[in-house]
């Protein structure tokens, strides 16, 4: 039946493209999480009246985040071509998409981290200080655990946005379902390929959303 | 022992300078429950945060058991904070941790091993009366239970001083009393010095030995709780004292009482400490030809004795009544004539 509905789909190619998309999404989500978390914590702690209150660092970090969050992703990919070439040695293939994906998504996630951290009751941080906690302990044992549900739901939203970004990166030859849909589906007018690639992307998005919701619910003890 | 010398905190917000704490000198001996009362904005919150170095003073010093809190910083200050712990109005528990994990948090900070932490938290859970709730999350607890966790957490590292920041202000009256009883119990059992700030005179009356009244960043009145209740000097102190003892003294009630008891003379007696337990009224009735009618009475217990007010209607000849009032005066009972109809 699949043969009649999707006559032009090469299932081996489709599977490979799906794996590439999953690979790009997973890798970029991981690095986005780490970098976004660091940026978000720095933004939070260097704000006025916070533990590391520092106008210059706060301004610089804020400026970096705002600039890279504002550049449309498709333009960012093009802007980053020399950087990618230097870093990866090529501008084609799944790995070549990673720098742009991470630099595009990390500032976005950093903002979400900042919002999550701002939601934490100031009193709890004060209580930890009153017990003699170091800033490092406060980050590890107060800030991160107390904002965990928001951090997880934030990375879920970011991961889903990244699935979309990988498809866009496909236009410049990053591989994955985006490339497949564009080259094989659109340019050769095989609508069934485009449709199947879309279905595969939707399935990935639903799975990511489901896992994210489950983990968020589990972490939330409020 | 806690010693504050010329303690001053000025907040400089660029445009305005706000003196939150203004040259405060105080000495709190070991084992005392010391209360600081004031309205919001009086500087009491800032004052209590100066005691554990959460705020740095602009001037003056804080000394706790010989250690100058204001002169140390970094690891030394963090170490000192483990001996000056704090409980809060809104409890400030970590919602992501269970009761036991919350209590173990300060022990983790102090670097106590896992087995020892488990043992200590079990003791503390029992001390504050939360047996069986070890694995509950704060969201599953009532306000009173949350404050019990706060207290257990504050006691984890065997502190010498416990600072209470409006610790009962978010609780209902019954729960407030239960938490105050727990604090007194801890004070007696562990010999802990307690410094508390509040805007409720009830709290001061119930558990404090001495009280400081704060207004505009200054300590305007200081003394034994019983003494302050008996002889409040400043207007603000009188208002606070009225919160617990003299609700019946408002102009309206007095007018109402006069209407209700038009005959004879209404007098208000204030008993303090031992007098509250002496049979002064019996003597009065025996020795003077006056008819005594008790119109209103209440008695408040403080940590250092009772404090009571009694409103009497005295009927008889003017001569006998004035003799009776003189008798009361001679027995050191503060007597106030509320007028006759």
Q: Kindly tell me the burial class for residue A207, based on how many C-beta atoms sit within 10 Å of its own C-beta (0-12, 13-18, 19 or more).
A: exposed
Comparing CB atoms, the residue among A130, A132, A146 nearest residue B79 is A132
Asked if residues B161 and B7 have their Cβ atoms less than 8 Å apart, the reply is: no
Mean pLDDT for each 10-residue chunk of chain B (341 residues)? 93 85 94 94 92 92 92 91 94 96 96 96 95 95 95 95 94 93 94 95 92 94 88 89 66 74 81 70 85 80 79 85 84 73 40
Pair B56, B20: CB distance under 8 Å: no
Distance CA B334, CA B245 (A): 14
CA distance B282 to chain A (A): 55
Angle at A106 between CA A102 and CA A109, to 5 degrees: 140
Written as one string, the DSSP assignment of chain A is: -HHHHSTT--HHHHHHHHHHHHHHHHHHHHHHHHHHHHHHHHHHHTSTTSTT--HHHHHHHHHHHHHHHHS-HHHHHHHTHHHHHHHHS-SSSHHHHHHHHHHHHHHHHHHHHHHHHHTS-HHHHHHHHHTT--HHHHIIIIIHHHTHHHHHHHHHHHHHHHHHHHHHHHHTT--HHHHIIIIIIITTT-HHHHHHHHHHHHHHHHHHHHHHHHHHHHH---
Q: Is B295 exposed, middle or buried (0-12, 13-18, 19+ CB in 10 A)?
A: middle
pLDDT at B247: 53
Is residue B329 classed exposed, middle or buried when 0-12, 13-18 and 19+ CB atoms within 10 A define those classes?
exposed
Give the ipTM: 0.87
Length of chain B: 341
CA distance A127 to chain B (A): 6
Q: Measured between CA atoms, how close is A22 to chain B, in angstroms?
A: 32
Whole-number Å distance between alpha carbons of B176 and B283: 39
Q: Which domains does chain A have, with CATH numbers?
A: 10-221 (1.10.3720.10)
Residues 223-282 of B with CB under 8 A from A: none
CB spacing of B109 vs A131 below 8 angstroms: yes
Selecting from B77, B90, B95 the residue whose C-beta is nearest the C-beta of A222 gives: B95
* Minimum distance, in Å, between the CA of residue B167 and any CA atom of chain A: 13
Q: What is the pLDDT of residue B154?
A: 96
Nearest residue in B to A132, CA atom: B78
Locate the chain A residue with the closest alpha carbon to B74: A134
- By C-alpha distance, the chain B residue nearest A124 is B92
**For position B341, what pLDDT does the model report?**
40
Strand order in the sheet with B291-302: B291-302, B305-315, B265-272, B334-340
Q: Which of A198, A214, A207 is nearest to A17 (CA)?
A: A198
Those residues whose C-beta lies under 8 Å from the C-beta of residue A142, and which sit 6 or more positions away, are: A120, A124, A125, A128, A133, B94
- Note the pLDDT of residue B250: 58
d(Cα B37, Cα B219) in Å, to the nearest integer? Answer: 9
Q: Which residues of B touch A132 (CB under 8 A)?
A: 77-82, 106, 109-110
The minimal CB distance from B88 to the residues A127, A134, A219 is found for A127
Phi and psi at A123, nearest 5°, equal: -60, -35
pTM over 0.80: yes
Any B CB within 8 A of A142 CB? yes
For residue range A40-49, list pLDDT tens digits in order.
Answer: 999 999 999 8
Which one of B77, B81, B95 has the shortest CB-CB distance to A146? B95
How close A66 gets to chain B, by Cα (Å)? Answer: 28
Residue B85 has its nearest CB partner, among A124, A126, A131, at A131
Q: Which residues pair with B162 in a beta bridge?
A: B85, B194
User: A48 CB near a chain B CB, below 8 Å?
Assistant: no
- CB B170, CB B90: distance < 8 Å: yes
Nearest Cα to Cα of residue A125 among A109, A153, A144, A152:
A144
Query: Chain B partners of A130 at a C-beta cutoff of 8 Å?
Result: 52, 54, 81, 85-86, 163
Give the per-residue pLDDT at B274: 67
Cα–Cα nearest to A193, from A6, A18, A2: A6
Q: Searching chain B, which residue's CA lies closest to the CA of residue A126?
A: B54
Considering CB atoms only, which of A124, A130, A133 is closest to B52? Answer: A130
CA angle, A89 then A32 then A178, to 5°: 65
Contact B169, B38 (CB under 8 A): no
Q: Split chain A (222 residues) into runs of 10 and give each run's mean pLDDT.
A: 79 91 96 97 94 94 94 90 87 86 95 96 95 96 96 97 90 84 83 90 96 94 83
Chain A residues whose beta carbon lies within 8 Å of the beta carbon of residue B90: 121, 123
> What does DSSP assign to residue B274?
G
Nearest to B236 by CA among B263, B215, B261: B215
């Amino acid at each position: 039946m699949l043969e009649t509905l999707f006559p032009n789909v090469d299932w081996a190619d489709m599977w490979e493209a799906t794996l590439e998309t999953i690979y790009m999404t997973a890798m970029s989500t991981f690095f986005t999480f780490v970098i976004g978390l660091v940026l978000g914590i720095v933004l939070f702690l260097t704000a006025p009246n916070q533990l590391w209150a520092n106008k210059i660092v706060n301004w610089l970090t804020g400026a970096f985040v705002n600039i890279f969050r504002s550049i449309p992703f498709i333009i960012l990919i093009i802007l980053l071509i020399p950087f990618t070439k230097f870093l990866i040695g090529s501008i084609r293939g799944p790995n070549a998409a990673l720098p742009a994906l991470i630099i595009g998504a990390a500032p976005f996630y950093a903002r979400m981290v900042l919002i999550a951290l701002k939601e934490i009751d100031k009193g709890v941080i004060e209580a930890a200080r009153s017990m003699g906690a170091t800033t490092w302990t406060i980050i590890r044992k107060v800030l991160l655990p107390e904002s965990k549900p928001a951090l997880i739901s934030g990375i879920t939203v970011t991961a889903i946005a990244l699935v979309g970004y990988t498809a866009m990166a496909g236009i410049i030859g990053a591989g994955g379902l985006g490339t497949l849909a564009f080259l094989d589906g659109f340019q050769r007018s095989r609508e069934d390929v485009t449709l199947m690639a879309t279905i595969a992307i939707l399935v990935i998005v639903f799975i990511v959303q489901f896992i994210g919701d489950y983990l968020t619910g589990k972490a939330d003890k409020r | 022992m806690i010693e504050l010398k010329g303690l001053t905190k000025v907040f400089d917000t660029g445009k305005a300078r706000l003196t939150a704490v203004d040259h405060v000198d105080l000495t709190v001996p070991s084992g005392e429950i010391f209360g600081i009362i004031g309205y919001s904005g009086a500087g009491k919150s800032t004052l209590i945060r100066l005691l554990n170095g959460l705020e740095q003073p602009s001037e003056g010093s804080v000394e706790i058991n010989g250690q100058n809190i204001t002169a140390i910083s970094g690891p030394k200050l963090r170490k000192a904070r483990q001996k000056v712990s704090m409980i809060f109005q809104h409890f400030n528990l970590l919602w992501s941790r269970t009761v036991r994990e919350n209590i173990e948090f300060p022990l983790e900070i102090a670097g106590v091993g896992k087995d020892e932490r488990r043992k200590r938290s079990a003791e503390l859970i029992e001390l504050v009366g939360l047996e069986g709730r070890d694995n509950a999350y704060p969201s599953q607890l009532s306000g009173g239970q949350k404050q019990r966790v706060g207290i257990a957490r504050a006691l984890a590292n065997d502190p010498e001083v416990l600072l209470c920041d409006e610790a009962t202000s978010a609780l209902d009256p019954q729960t407030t009393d239960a938490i105050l009883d727990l604090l007194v119990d801890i004070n007696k059992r562990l010999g802990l010095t307690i410094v508390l700030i509040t805007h409720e005179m009830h709290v001061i009356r119930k558990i404090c030995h001495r009280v400081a009244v704060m207004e505009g960043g200054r300590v305007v009145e200081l003394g034994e709780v019983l003494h302050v209740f008996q002889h409040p000097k400043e207007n603000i102190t009188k208002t606070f004292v009225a919160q617990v003892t003299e609700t019946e003294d408002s102009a309206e009630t007095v007018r109402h009482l006069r209407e209700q008891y038009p005959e004879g003379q209404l007098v208000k007696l204030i008993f303090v400490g031992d007098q509250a337990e002496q049979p002064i009224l019996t003597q009065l009735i025996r020795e003077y030809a006056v008819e005594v009618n008790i119109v209103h009475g209440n008695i408040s217990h403080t940590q250092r004795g009772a404090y009571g007010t009694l409103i009497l209607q005295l009927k008889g000849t003017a001569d006998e009544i004035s003799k009776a009032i003189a008798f009361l005066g001679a027995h050191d009972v503060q007597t106030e004539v509320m007028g006759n109809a």
